[in-house]
Structure formats: C-alpha cells, structure tokens
Amino acid sequence: MSNSSSSLNGKTALVTGATSGIGLETAKSLAVQGATVILGVRNLDAARQFVENTRKEYPSTQFVVPKQPLDLMSQDSVRKFAEEVNKDNKELNILVNNAGVSFMKKYFTSDNVGGIAQTNYLGPYTLTRLLEKKLVSSKARVVTVASITHRTARIKDPKAFLTEWRSGFYEHSKLANVLFAYELQRRLGLHGLTSCVADPGGVRSNIFNSSPMLSKGMYKKMIDMCYSPPYDGAQSIIYAATVPWEKDRAVVDGTPVSPAQDLRYYSRGLFNHPIITRLDGVRGKSYNEDLAHKLWDVSAETAGLPANPVV
C-alpha cells in the first residue's frame, strides 16, 4: 500500500474503473488509508466481489457500491450515477477519473461522439461537471489519469476531436484529459478545489487485452517484461490524490503561484525520461490555454451543461 503519511479517516473518495488494474489498486490504497471509497464501475457484481476480497485482507476498509452502475460510454448512465452521488449529503473529498479504453471498434454515441473520446474524456468531463458543486463545497482533489502518449498528439479542432473517429484516438483523449484537468484548476482553483493530472507510466494493465496486436506474441512478452504491475502504476495517482497541495506549490520570486497558474502533472516510472517528456505533439505545441478554453466550452455544449461552473 501507499506509504503516504496522510490519514484519510472521515474522507470520501470516488474512483472510476475501480475493479481492475490501476483503478483497483488506487481504490484499495485510499480505503486502507481510511477513506470511504465509492466504486464507479459498470459491473456492480465485480465491485461487490472486489469489496469482499479486499475486506479479507483489510477488514476495516469501507466501500460504497452504488445502486447505479457507471458506464462512461453512456451520458445517460453518467447522469444517473452523478444524481445518486449528489443525493448523498456526505462530502466528496477525492475524485479519481481513472476508467478508460484504448482499443475498440469504430463506434459513435447518439450524440455523434466517438467511443474512445466519449469514454476517456467526455464521460469523465460530464461526471466531474455534474458533481462540481459537491466537489467545490468539499474543497476536493480531482485527479485525472493521463498517459505519456498525450505528448505525441495534437487536437487541432475540439469539435472534430469529439465527432471524428481518427481525431479522437486514445492519445488524443489523453491530451484532452490534460487540457481538462488544467482548465478545471484554472476555473475552480480559486474556489478551493484542486485539480491535477497523474501519469502512471507503462503498466501491465487489462487495457492491452482488447488489442489484436499487443495481446499476444512478441509484443505481449515485451509488455509483460518491461512494463510495471498495476500496483506500481497506481503510485503516481495515489500521491496526486493525497499529497498536501501546498507541499508541491511552485514559488516564483518568493511568491506562491496563483491557483490559475498552479498546473500539476504527476508522473513516475517508465516513460518518464526527459527525452520522452520533451515530446510536444506530432508537429508543434500540443497544449495551450486557448485550446483548453475551447475544448471546455465545446464539451459543455455537447454535454448540455453550462460553460461556466455552477458553484
């Protein structure tokens, strides 16, 4: 488990994709540290089995298996799940947007959003926005899980990213996650919410199982040999979720940076070499503030939400 010294007793955390891989390890660690962990998952039976297995090893851990499943592919499912969470009067102190997909057949939702962009980005965006009033009142930490692959992508047009299949691949969705996390910090940091990105590095997770190329043969052997286990990959996420915010706050000329400038990307392990972390899009800069603004507004319009946060 994480060696964080912080105690999460009395805190509530929500982790999406919590029944396997990095999400499972993150949910387990937060619960062991004392948090009551809400499991945002599609398969509620798997969630109950996870709780049973974890309590055999850690009897005092506390989990909540909601009545509503969370399928990030469906905006309707996201809304129903958020409604259930919002009805609870308890604070929501930590939100970990972890669940995601990589390899899938071409698919569009009823809103004409590509399946990868919907699951990895618009679903988590919508969930966070629907919970934002509770998150702000709780002065919550929001951790959005990205990937080193975001450094190889560019989003030229936010609308195209959502609605054109080839513009919304995995790497594009992870760049969108970074843009969203930073924009969330800009817009809600002054209200006490803190938002950051966590990059788990190369991890032997279930995400490769659906790839015809990477799930077998030489590629699978390389992944099994070189990539970290989910427990190791979860460490950057656990740290990002629990580190006291002031500990890592940058100081410029003796003055701590403002919340709008306090943009954080936590990473460790494989793929964290400076040569790789200097990658910046296929042709030019992959990230800028104007793009983050536009992506936020287009996402709000697509999700039927107000552009300005409701706090």
Q: Are strands 62-64 and 94-97 parallel, antiparallel or unpaired?
A: unpaired
What residue has token string 């990059």? 199
Predicted confidence at residue 267, as pLDDT, reads 86
pLDDT higher than threshold 50 for residue 5: no
pLDDT band of 77, cuts 50, 70, 90: very high
- CA distance readout (Å), 76 to 123, 148, 174: 10, 30, 22
Residue 274 token pair:
């400076």
Mean local confidence (pLDDT), 94-104: 90
Query: pLDDT of 104-122, one tens digit each?
Result: 889 999 999 999 999 999 9
Query: pLDDT of 137-179, one tens digit each?
Result: 999 999 999 988 888 899 999 999 999 999 999 999 999 999 9
Which amino acid would we find at residue 26? T
What residues are labeled active site? 170
Chain mean pLDDT for the chain: 89
What domains lie within the chain, and their CATH numbers?
12-301 (3.40.50.720)
Tell me what percent of the residues of the chain surpass a pLDDT of 70: 84
Q: Does residue 150 sit in helix, strand or coil?
A: helix
Predicted confidence at residue 268, as pLDDT, reads 77
Query: pLDDT of 38-52, one tens digit each?
Result: 999 999 999 999 999
Query: pLDDT of 202-249, one tens digit each?
Result: 665 665 555 555 555 665 666 555 566 778 888 999 999 999 999 999
Mean local confidence (pLDDT), 272-298: 78
Query: pLDDT of 52-64, one tens digit each?
Result: 999 999 999 999 9
Taking CA 279 as the corner, what is the angle to CA 167 and CA 220, rounded to the nearest 5 degrees? 75
Angstrom distance (rounded) from CA 199 to CA 138: 25
Which amino acid would we find at residue 3? N
